[in-house]
Amino acid sequence: MDTMQHAIMTENLAPLSPSQQYLLLHSSQPSAAVTLTSELLHASLVAATANSHQSNCTVQRQQQERPTLRSPSCVSAPRMSTSTLAMLEYSVHACPKRMARDLATVFPGKDLSKLLVVPTFQKCLHEMVAWDAEIAKEKDDRLDDFIRWSKAIHKRLEQLGHWSDMTDPASGYPCYSERGRDVYPDVDGCQMLLKYDFQNAGCCKILLHPIWGSKIYPATFFTTAPADVLQTVVQQVELEHRS
């Protein structure tokens, strides 16, 4: 006896798939064993549909409740900036209060109440924690790229009357402003803003980019310009220096 015959004999539709139940409901052939009412079949189909809908709702609810990796400080999600100046990924963040307190000793005398922090990443060929002549050259090249990119944006923002600066990744000191008693740690700052993973290598903390891993060159730009002004300036710089 096959599954459909057994279901008819026992009036139990549970073993049948929805498609089998549908075929049974709409079959024009009378059953010699027993006649099932359409109400029973419809009730079974409704129950199966309800169970399926409930499962879908559960999945959707779990997806909605799944925590997002995007930082609450993020004003503009990571995006690529491509030009002859540099090819780098950047994002824009409203400076958290905790970070603002620390930055007050990096940029002394500056009003940082509306500060935007712009972490940048350049993809590298090598692990930047190792040391040899080839890696040293790549570090210098990535630093030069970041300086060109940041300088172009800094110049335009300055023309618009907005303060901006960048910190030297090698020293942590500001490039344009007066030096404070503290330096800015790019890795710690990026980890706080973007929640990226990191690993320890001796006394060093290595940031892990979600796509490029540890083969990255991080550097940071700062400005008190509004986010929309900053985005417009970045786009203008990219258009002016098309690759």
Share of the chain above pLDDT 70, in %: 71
Domain-by-domain residue ranges, the chain?
Answer: 3-65, 74-240
Cα torsion 151, 80, 230, 157 to 10°: value is 10
What is the rounded distance in angstroms from the CA atom of residue 206 to the CA atom of residue 226?
31
Beta-sheet pairing, 204-208 with 116-123:
unpaired
Whether the per-residue pLDDT at 197 is higher than 50: the answer is yes
Q: What are phi and psi of 74, to 5 degrees?
A: -70, 120
> What number is the average pLDDT over the span 87-93?
99
Confidence class of residue 85 from pLDDT cuts 50, 70 and 90? very high
Confidence class of residue 53 from pLDDT cuts 50, 70 and 90? very low
- Unique residue bearing structure tokens 């990443």: 121
Confidence class of residue 204 from pLDDT cuts 50, 70 and 90? confident
Whether the per-residue pLDDT at 149 is higher than 90: the answer is yes
- Read off the DSSP letter of residue 133: H
What is the rounded distance in angstroms from the CA atom of residue 173 to the CA atom of residue 117?
15
pLDDT in tens, 15-28: 656 555 545 544 44
In what helix (H) or strand (E) does residue 219 lie, and over which residues does it extend?
strand 216-223
3-state SS, residue 200: strand
3-state SS, residue 145: helix
Residue 124 structure tokens: 């590298």
